[in-house]
Every structure is written in structure tokens, then in C-alpha cells.
């Protein structure tokens, strides 16, 4: 597959697809050597699916689709989740598409074994990606989770994501207060905004499909969520107030130092003029 000849590379990719189709259940074993070989193969397929040569790229995409359909979803998802943060944006997109296909084949027990919170976190990584393919695949993973999980299970984990996002924001404020750094809107904040919008959309869908008994249980969960948020809010406001005070003191010190330097420079130039050439 690493051969520079495109025809040979395409043939090897087609052979990989046939191997996935025939021996998919046997590939991901507990052998360390076999896992390392599969990791290298998966990386090469993602790279070939991300390159510019169209016929090689198409064959690699077909092989990835065959892999996602033929291999067990749980171990394959464990392999794929590390590529959603890859430096190559095309590799991230292809990994997101493969993850979406894996999630569509997972049952409730398999999702719980993988971890619902981890699954939602993996699906949320490409939400703010530059490529539309990655964003659509990420939204598809969330939608497929809704179709598979029961309403209350998914709602509980969505609420955990909301509380977790509040706590991560609080941790970010703490680190900024300790380091004295200014708060900026970065990629992480944009990703959290995209995830928050998607969570709100999913919660709306869940409420539309629920009955009275389900809504009563949801009300109890919402009350517990509000209690969690009330615990976090005073600490967050306190940290923000102390951060703003420290920032104001630093600005005052910077202004005093700036004017002191200007005054010293003005006195130095005045003495130099009085001395003459």
C-alpha cells in the first residue's frame, strides 16, 4: 500500500477490502503484533482516502466502508477514536465517517460497554471541523445514538455532558486566573458552542417524543441538574470577580509604569538639551 505506483496501491487496497469482508471477525484479536499491524493498516487507509489521486481515494473509501461494516464495532471504535484529533483534517473527516458507520451498527449494550459519555465525547470532536463531511458525520453519530438508546438513558448522559461543560468552563477560568491570562474565544470554545447547540436540539427531540410518566422522571433529572448548576454558579462568579479585580490592578500598574517611563525619558531629554551639544 505504500508503493509509489498507484495501480499497485489500488490493487492492495482492494485486497484489504476482500480481507475485511471475509475475515473481519478474526482480525481484531488480542495479539499485540496483530493489533500493531492493524493500526498501521488503518492509518494507511485513512491517508490513502485523504489523498488527491481520485481512483486510489475512492478505493480507500470503499475499503473503509467495508471495514466499518464487517469488523466488530466496539474494538474498531476504540481504534478510530484516536484519529478524530489527527493533524490532517481529511484524515479526521474520514475517521468521523467511519465512526458514524460503527455507531449505526452498535446496540445499547455495546454502547454502554464502550461508555455513553465517551461515545458522545468522541462524536462531539468533529462538530466544529473545517470540512462539512466531518461535521455531518458527527451529527449523524448523535442522531444514530438517539435512534438506538432509550430516551431516559440518552437524556441522562446529555445532562452529564452539560454539567461537564460547565465544570470544564470553570476549570478554564481557574487556570486563567492562576496564570493571569486574558480570556479569548478559541477553537475549544467554538467546539463547545457547537456541541451545546446540538445538545439543545437533541433534548428538544427527546421531549417531543415523551409521555407524561417519562416527563415526570425527566423533571426529577432536571431538578438534579439545576442543583448541580447552582453549586457551580457561585464559585464561577467568585472566580470571575476576582479575575476582573486582578485584571484591573494589572492595568493600573501597567499605566503607572508606562507614564513613569515617559516621565523619565522626558527628564533625560531635557537634561541633554540643557547640556548642549
**Structural domains of the chain sorted by starting position, each given as residue range(s) with its CATH number in brackets:** 6-147 (1.25.10.10)
Residues 184-209: tens digit of each pLDDT: 445 445 555 565 666 566 556 555 55
Number of C-beta neighbours around residue 192 at 10 A? 17
Q: Which residue has the cell 442522531?
A: 143
What is the average pLDDT across 227-249?
A: 84
Q: What is the pLDDT of residue 184?
A: 46
Alpha helices in the chain (DSSP H): 6-27, 32-49, 54-70, 73-80, 89-105, 108-114, 116-124, 132-148, 151-179, 187-208, 212-275
Task: Using the predicted structure, report yes or no on whether residue 145 has a pLDDT greater than 70.
Answer: no
33 burial (CB, 10 Å; 0-12 / 13-18 / 19+) is: exposed
The answer to which of 15-29, 58-72, 173-187, 242-256 has the lowest mean pLDDT is 173-187
Q: What is the pLDDT of residue 187?
A: 47
Q: What does 240-266 look like in DSSP terms, one character per residue? A: HHHHHHHHHHHHHHHHHHHHHHHHHHH
pTM: 0.56
Q: What percent of the chain has pLDDT over 90?
A: 11
- Quick one: which of 113, 115, 111, 118 has its CA closest to 147? 111
pLDDT grade, residue 62 (50/70/90)?
A: very high
Q: What percent of the chain has pLDDT over 70?
A: 68
φ, ψ dihedrals at 107, nearest 5°: -95, 175
Amino acid at each position: 500500500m505504500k508503493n509509489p505506483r498507484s495501480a499497485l496501491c489500488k490493487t492492495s487496497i482492494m485486497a484489504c477490502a476482500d480481507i475485511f469482508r471475509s475475515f473481519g471477525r478474526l482480525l481484531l484479536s488480542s495479539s499485540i503484533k496483530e493489533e500493531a499491524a492493524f493500526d498501521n493498516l488503518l492509518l494507511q487507509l485513512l491517508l490513502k482516502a485523504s489523498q488527491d489521486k481520485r481512483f486510489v481515494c475512492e478505493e480507500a473509501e470503499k475499503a473503509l466502508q467495508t471495514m466499518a461494516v464487517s469488523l466488530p464495532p466496539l474494538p474498531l471504535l476504540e481504534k478510530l477514536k484516536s484519529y478524530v484529533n489527527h493533524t490532517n483534517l481529511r484524515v479526521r473527516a474520514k475517521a468521523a465517517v467511519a465512526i458514524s458507520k460503527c455507531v449505526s451498527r452498535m446496540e445499547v449494550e455495546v454502547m454502554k460497554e464502550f461508555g455513553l459519555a465517551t461515545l458522545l465525547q468522541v462524536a462531539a470532536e468533529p462538530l466544529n471541523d473545517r470540512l462539512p463531511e466531518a461535521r455531518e458525520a458527527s451529527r449523524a453519530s448523535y442522531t444514530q445514538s438517539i435512534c438506538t438508546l432509550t430516551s431516559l438513558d440518552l437524556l441522562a448522559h446529555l445532562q452529564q455532558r452539560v454539567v461537564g461543560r460547565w465544570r470544564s468552563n470553570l476549570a478554564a477560568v481557574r487556570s486563567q486566573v492562576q496564570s493571569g491570562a486574558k480570556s479569548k474565544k478559541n477553537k475549544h470554545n467554538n467546539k463547545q458552542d457547537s456541541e451545546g447547540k446540538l445538545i439543545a436540539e437533541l433534548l428538544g427531540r427527546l421531549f417531543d417524543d415523551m409521555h407524561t410518566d417519562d416527563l415526570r422522571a425527566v423533571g426529577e433529572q432536571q431538578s438534579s441538574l439545576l442543583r448541580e448548576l447552582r453549586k457551580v454558579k457561585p464559585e464561577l462568579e467568585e472566580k470571575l470577580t476576582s479575575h476582573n479585580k486582578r485584571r484591573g490592578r494589572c492595568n493600573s500598574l501597567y499605566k503607572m509604569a508606562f507614564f513613569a517611563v515617559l516621565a523619565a525619558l522626558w527628564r533625560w531629554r531635557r537634561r541633554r538639551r540643557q547640556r548642549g551639544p
